[in-house]
Amino acid sequence: AQKVTQAQTEISVVEKEDVTLDCVYETRDTTYYLFWYKQPPSGELVFLIRRNSFDEQNEISGRYSWNFQKSTSSFNFTITASQVVDSAVYFCALSVISGNTPLVFGKGTRLSVIA
């Protein structure tokens, strides 16, 4: 079985601060995908990144960066120079690669960026 843990329930930062959202996962599968989604107040899920278990390279996309550490089963997400528009709930998720399988979501971290 798969499990995703996002220990931070809520985080509040002041605009322009950097913030890291933690994600720890559990799976017995050796091949899997890890995801991050953003859910703004309107409710839709906005896809941010997908990373497969073979690729431990860190990734940077604008103000977003991701740190994948297989040794600690973590896939942390950092927002640099946060902005008010970053305020949302962020979900980390996991799916195995084999077969047509659903995503297992963490409980989410609610990020509030204060102007």
Partner 1 sequence: GAVVSQHPSWVICKSGTSVKIECRSLDFQATTMFWYRQFPKQSLMLMATSNEGSKATYEQGVEKDKFLINHASLTLSTLTVTSAHPEDSSFYICSARDRAGNNSPLHFGNGTRLTVT
Examine residue 41 and tell whether it contacts partner 1 (CB under 8 A): no
* Interatomic CA distance for residues 59 and 93, integer angstroms: 17
* Residue 78-107 contact track with partner 1, rule CB under 8 A, x = bound: -------------x---x-xxxx-xxxxxx
75 near 67, Cβ under 8 Å?
yes
25 near 93, Cβ under 8 Å?
no
Q: Which is nearer to partner 1, 7 or 81 (CB)?
A: 7
Binding-site member from 28, 41, 47, 115 for partner 1 (CB under 8 A): 47
* Interatomic CA distance for residues 86 and 112, integer angstroms: 8
- Least separation in angstroms between CB 16 and partner 1: 27
Task: Count the site residues for partner 1 by CB under 8 A.
Answer: 20
36 near 66, Cβ under 8 Å?
yes
Q: Which two tokens stand for residue 29?
A: 């599968």
Residues that bind partner 1 in the complex, under the rule CB under 8 A: 37, 43-45, 47, 50, 91, 95, 97-100, 102-108, 110
